[in-house]
Amino acid sequence: DALWTARERELLVEGGRGTGKTRTILELINVLCQRFPGLVVLIVRKYQRTLASTCLRTLNEQVLHNGDGVSFFGGNENEPAAYRYRNGSRIVVGGMDNADKVKSSEYDLVYENEVTELSEEDHESLLPLLRHLKDGQRLIEHQRIIGDCNPADSGHWANRRCEAGKMRRIVTVLRDNPAYYDDAGAPTEAGEAYLQTLTSLTGSRRERWLEG
């Protein structure tokens, strides 16, 4: 709920593995694209090739559904790959390894998948792209950039931006994922199995993925 009501320009969704960070952000993006015709969103990662097996797999398998009227365009020399909605909204996908193509458009919302892979220079170069207008007006009042990550080293730039008040941190836990916990707060069968896996971890892996 915190992410859906947040209006800050820079947001960091942070939590252990399986807490539903990516799914929640993608659900928000999909709803906004359906609600505001002509919306332009960017999903970006450090390397574009890693998107297909991670973030975009979640988008294809868990968020988009047959009948939604969303088609995928593979891109060409002049235009980046994108999901196209019937109402004119687009979700552009790309990597900072091909930054010129990513930065060739203006956006209403930018989603930095696995923000810990990006440099602060990457992040700050994306912020000025939040300036898309349609007929001279913003489609959404609060254009924003959303990053997600597992808890990172305290010295990471994203953590420093949060501590400096430049970026709002939203923390997620396993109970936020409906696949693992039901409405009453009890673990599902899948949740029990996943918890057993996480509790078997040790050291920093346990701290990051289970304890957050």
The DSSP bridge pattern shows strands 90-95 and 40-45 to be: parallel
- pLDDT above 60 for 42: yes
Residue 187's pLDDT band, with cuts at 50, 70 and 90, is confident
- pLDDT above 70 for 212: no
pLDDT at site 151: 78
- pLDDT above 60 for 211: no
Query: Which amino acid is present at 205?
Result: R
Residue 208's pLDDT band, with cuts at 50, 70 and 90, is low
- Tell me the helix, strand and coil percentages in the chain, rounded to 5: 35, 20, 40
pLDDT at site 117: 94
pTM: 0.87
Which residue would you say has higher pLDDT here, 112 or 183? 112
